[in-house]
Amino acid sequence: MKLHMNRKLDNERRRISSGFRFSWAFLKLVGGAHRNSWLSPISLLIFLLATSGLYEYVAYQIGLVASQFFGALTTQSYHRFIWTVRLSVVYVFGISTIIAVRSLVSGHLALCFRENLTEYLQRRYFVRRNYYTVTNLVEMDNPDQRFTQDVDVTCNLLSEIIPTLLINPILVVFYTYKCVEKAGWLGPISAYVLFVVFALITHLLTAWTSTAIYEQERQEGNFRFLHTQFRCDSESAAFLDLGQSEHCFAKSAFERLLHAFRVKVNRKPVLLYVTQMSAYTGGVLNYLTIGVVLFGGLFGDMTTSEVAVLISETSFFLLYLINKLTTLIDLANNIAQLVGVGHRLLMLHLHLLETAGHTTPGSYAARHFATGARSIVPTAIKPSSTCGTRSSPERSPHEIAVTLQHISVGLPTNPDLILIHDLSIDIRLAEPLLITGPSGVGKTALLRVLADLWPALATPYQSAYFYRSAEIRTMFVPQKPSVPSTFACPSRLFRVLEEHLTPNGRNPLCSSETDERCRALHLTYLLLSVAESPVLSSGWNVSSLSPATTTTTDSLVETSLDHVLWCGYSLHAYREAMKLLCEFRLIPAEVVTSVRTSLERYLARRVNELSEQSGSLLTDTMHGIRDLLRFGCQPVISDFALAADEWRSCYSPGELQRLVLAAVCYRRPQLVFLDESTSQLSETDEFQAYQSLTTRGVTPVTVGHRPSVRNYHGRELRLTSFSYSSRSSVTERDDVLTVNRTNTKPNWSIHSI
């Protein structure tokens, strides 16, 4: 496995190129990400080039100030000296302001690049379960790092490289010409005084700026942890088809990251302004010190010397030329870093484009790996043996949902290694099926095939068929439920409980009086996120309140509270979810009543407030400007000081399994595939869970080991390990027993319970 991973990394490194192919592919990626929102980055880029050009002009004028000082000093012209001092002060304040503004524009350009590029990649990552394909079936390491750290580094490098690459070559030519055309000392006391004064100021500003930098790094870690967690739970999410829900969680965490990043961008220029002012003031202050000494009469009479002026101008031109050449040399290091990091993004984009041509991960695996084996695509056309009843308009209570005829199950990356051989079975409604067998025999692999995560393989020399009804709703529940972290939930979720929460940002878990209400609301939101996708309306994590129909305005039309959305879900959905949580004994009935009442009161109050608002366009504009230029002392609003790991540690594995089973009852599929989904429950809770499924007309197909599960099923599909009589045909790989395709003996049997 290690050699295989090293080979994948070596293949990817060989593709790295900094020539025309990389430049063209990288420009296509950046251009595609900004295709629908190009105005902001283009405007910021033009503004950045303008400020960079203005900076170079003012820097050129400041460089000539030295020669003007020499001219005033050598001619002992007092009025000329005073004029030059005044002009230099204007230049110093001007260039400090320009540098701060340039840093501000560059930061917001990087912010704009990152927002568009991340959303562009995430939109392709969370659709059609591409996250499972990229994470498990594609030869690429750490997609989570590419979404987080690599995008961040790339966007920052772009905002730094573009203006330097466009302006510095012109400056090199210009100052080279000046040095050819044309053929300084400092006072230590003035430098020490300047150092002490600005050191005190920068000490105060450093602490102020470092808090924003720390917060941004923390949110970077949270955002990457979300993608890392999702990468680890991608199979569970793929079974539950949680692409849209996880996209919303990623978007919510990403908005917090953008908020912290925006605060850091707005604070850093203040510190940079002071440091740059100290640097440029030092050069002028030294000449001012010389002037004080000269006009104090300590140097005596001096004659005018054009040579001194010439030396001053030439030294400036030469020093600035060296500086620009050094900058271009340093730029090569940045470009090398951009090529390395940008290539990782290009590979991610390339694989996302490859998955765009496939509707499921199974079809991708069949196309790229099943070269020696014939893969079978699921079809909604019934096999010929069942076509005799197709003219009947009434649906049979025992209708066939899935038919497998001569289907084999093998590893997607190596179809010659078979787990289940020559399987033929019908899965019908109202006929619960139990799948049993030793660990590693392929029970979960069979569910992966049924969920289109792995391809179905045809048994050699047999007429294979894979039928799946398009009219029957199905749902898959994995062994490990995929539950998001707290920081991924909308920050305004607990606002409905404001009257019950303690002030001063106290943690709700620390108060027994409010703990159950917060826990109940959080469990309700988690159930809804598993059961259905949230409604993506504008300002999903900003206003968090919108009518049920998608709208681009803030005004709410006359509508009942049942259709009002809160954090992506309607009030009716919250009510139904709370009933199920109460049924599965996750929250008591009195807490349900309290939370439901608080939610109804809060939404009614918010609806009335929003309906009475006027001038919403101006209000939104002011809020946008305030958010854009944010200097708030609290970089990221953490409503009730919820830490990223608090809620996860509060829920036991059994509670999480009951939560997902409650989500199944909320969605009400006709057929549900359960992969040991009651292994952490007591027999009483297990009985209640299957009873809830049965009363809602849900037919379970269960993978399990516990004897108690047999009571809720009528048939058993028993899988067995392959015979060890032929050692050459059996392979053990990652705790899974596989056999070569030459073995023709089925390793399964069906029994009545």
pLDDT digits (tens, 9 = 90+) for 266-279: 887 887 787 677 66
Could you tell me where the DSSP H helices lie in 356-494? 361-368, 443-450
- What local confidence, expressed as pLDDT, does residue 177 receive? 74
Amino acid at 1: M
Is residue 616 located within the same domain as residue 570?
yes
Question: How would residue 702 be classed by pLDDT, with cut points 50, 70 and 90?
Answer: very high
| Residue 706 confidence (pLDDT) above 80 | yes
Residue 653 within any structural domain of the chain:
no
- What local confidence, expressed as pLDDT, does residue 234 receive? 79
Is residue 556 located within the same domain as residue 691?
no
The answer to whether the beta carbons of residues 624 and 618 sit under 8 Å apart is no
Is residue 302 located within the same domain as residue 161?
yes
Residue 657 within any structural domain of the chain:
no
Q: What is the mean pLDDT of the chain?
A: 76
pLDDT top residue among 499 and 162: 162
Q: Which of 52, 75, 257 is nearest to 149 (CA)?
A: 257
Strands 671-675 and 474-477: parallel
Q: By mean pLDDT, which of 215-219, 413-417, 573-577, 598-602 is the weakest?
A: 215-219
Is residue 551 located within the same domain as residue 405?
no
Burial profile 705-734: b = 16 or more Cβ within 10 angstroms, e = fewer: eeeebeebbebbbebebbeeeeeebbbeee
| Residue 31 confidence (pLDDT) above 80 | yes
pLDDT top residue among 188 and 669: 669
Is residue 636 located within the same domain as residue 548?
yes
pLDDT digits (tens, 9 = 90+) for 635-655: 444 444 444 344 555 688 899
Could you tell me where the DSSP H helices lie in 76-182? 78-125, 130-132, 143-145, 151-181
Question: How would residue 196 be classed by pLDDT, with cut points 50, 70 and 90?
Answer: low
Mean pLDDT on 461-486: 84
Mean pLDDT on 124-138: 88
Is residue 430 located within the same domain as residue 321?
no
Mean pLDDT on 600-626: 69
Is residue 377 located within the same domain as residue 472?
yes
Amino acid at 55: Y
- By CB atoms closer than 10 A (0-12, 13-18, 19+), residue 590 is exposed
For residue 433, give the H/E element and its range.
strand 433-436
| Residue 192 confidence (pLDDT) above 50 | yes
Domain edge (last residue) among 333, 357, 381: 357
- What local confidence, expressed as pLDDT, does residue 479 receive? 84
Is residue 431 located within the same domain as residue 556?
no
Residue 375 phi, psi dihedral angles, 5° rounding = -85, 150
Question: How would residue 84 be classed by pLDDT, with cut points 50, 70 and 90?
Answer: confident
Residue 6 within any structural domain of the chain:
no
Is residue 143 located within the same domain as residue 67?
yes
Amino acid at 302: M
Strands 433-436 and 736-740: unpaired
Q: By mean pLDDT, which of 308-312, 373-377, 460-464, 539-543 is the weakest?
A: 539-543
Mean pLDDT on 294-305: 50
Residue 589 phi, psi dihedral angles, 5° rounding = -65, -40
Is residue 176 located within the same domain as residue 321?
yes
The three-state secondary structure class of 552 is coil
Is residue 593 located within the same domain as residue 576?
yes
pLDDT digits (tens, 9 = 90+) for 364-410: 888 776 555 677 878 877 766 554 444 444 566 779 999 999 999 98
Mean pLDDT on 193-201: 68
pLDDT top residue among 532 and 745: 532
Is residue 520 located within the same domain as residue 475?
no
Beta strands in 304-398 (DSSP E): 375-376
Question: How would residue 440 be classed by pLDDT, with cut points 50, 70 and 90?
Answer: confident
Residue 161 within any structural domain of the chain:
yes
Q: Which of 244, 260, 156 is nearest to 532 (CA)?
A: 244
Q: Which domain holds residue 627?
A: 490-642
Mean pLDDT on 223-247: 81
- What local confidence, expressed as pLDDT, does residue 613 receive? 58
Residue 71 phi, psi dihedral angles, 5° rounding = -65, -45
- What local confidence, expressed as pLDDT, does residue 640 receive? 42
Number of domains in the chain: 3
Q: By mean pLDDT, which of 208-217, 264-273, 397-406, 626-635 is the weakest?
A: 626-635
Domain edge (last residue) among 300, 324, 357: 357
Q: Give the whole-number percent of the chain exceeding pLDDT 70.
A: 66
- What local confidence, expressed as pLDDT, does residue 19 receive? 58
The three-state secondary structure class of 251 is helix
Domain edge (last residue) among 341, 357, 373: 357
Cβ–Cβ contacts within 10 Å for residue 210, how many? 13
pLDDT digits (tens, 9 = 90+) for 549-564: 443 333 333 346 788 8
* Distance separating alpha carbons of residues 647 and 214, to the nearest angstrom: 24
| Residue 75 confidence (pLDDT) above 80 | no
Residue 5 within any structural domain of the chain:
no
* Distance separating alpha carbons of residues 79 and 70, to the nearest angstrom: 14
Could you tell me where the DSSP H helices lie in 356-382? 361-368
Q: By mean pLDDT, which of 189-198, 329-338, 674-683, 726-735 is the weakest?
A: 726-735
pLDDT digits (tens, 9 = 90+) for 48-71: 999 988 988 888 888 778 777 767
For residue 719, give the H/E element and its range.
strand 715-719
The answer to whether the beta carbons of residues 159 and 47 sit under 8 Å apart is no
Cβ–Cβ contacts within 10 Å for residue 470, how many? 9
DSSP labels, 267-323: HHHHHHHHHHHHHHHHHHHHHHHHHHHHHTTSS------HHHHHHHHHHHHHHHHHH
| Residue 185 confidence (pLDDT) above 50 | no
The three-state secondary structure class of 211 is helix
Q: By mean pLDDT, which of 65-79, 394-408, 727-741 is the weakest?
A: 727-741
Q: Which of 495, 496, 672 is nearest to 600 (CA)?
A: 496
CATH of the domain at 703: 3.40.50.300
Question: Taking the complete model, does pTM exceed 0.75, yes or no?
Answer: no
- What local confidence, expressed as pLDDT, does residue 666 receive? 96
